């Protein structure tokens, strides 16, 4: 049994017991989160597709909030003396899928 769920602007294939890293979600560590936008649900070969499917919910638990790897953004214009160096670390949340209902 698996489902394809939309979290933010990304789509993830989730199974019960799986832990995934997604963009930062509202809530504290240890809280339960309900992910309602299920795009596809498959149970023993029976597939249900919708935009989103009706009545399907994903129960997940927030494990931790963390930051992603640092990405360096470097801009330069040659022969002008212009150089800018910036860094970015994406705010992420690690969640564990508890149930697909």
- Domain parsing of the chain, residue ranges: 2-100
- pTM given for the model: 0.83
Tell me: the pLDDT tens digits for 40-74?
999 988 998 988 887 889 999 999 999 999 999 99
In whole angstroms, what separates CA 57 from the centre of its chain?
Answer: 15
Q: How would you classify residue 55: left for phi > 0, otherwise alpha for psi between -120 and 50, otherwise beta?
A: left
Q: Is the pLDDT at 16 greater than 90, yes or no?
A: yes
Instruction: Give percent of the chain above pLDDT 70.
Output: 100
* Nearest one of 46, 54, 58, 68 to 15, comparing CA atoms: 58
Going by the DSSP 8-state scheme, the letter that residue 30 receives in this structure is T
Average pLDDT across the chain, whole number: 94
Task: Provide the β-strand partners of residue 34.
Answer: 59
């Amino acid at each position: 049994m698996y489902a394809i769920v939309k979290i933010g602007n990304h789509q993830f294939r989730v199974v019960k017991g799986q832990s995934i890293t997604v963009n930062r979600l509202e809530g504290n560590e240890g809280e339960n989160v309900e992910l309602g936008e299920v795009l596809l649900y498959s149970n023993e070969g029976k597939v249900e597709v919708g935009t989103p499917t009706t009545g399907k919910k994903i129960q997940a638990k927030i494990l931790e909030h963390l930051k992603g790897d640092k990405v360096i953004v470097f801009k330069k214009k040659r022969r002008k003396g212009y150089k800018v160096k910036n860094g970015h670390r994406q705010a992420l949340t690690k969640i564990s899928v508890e149930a697909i209902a």
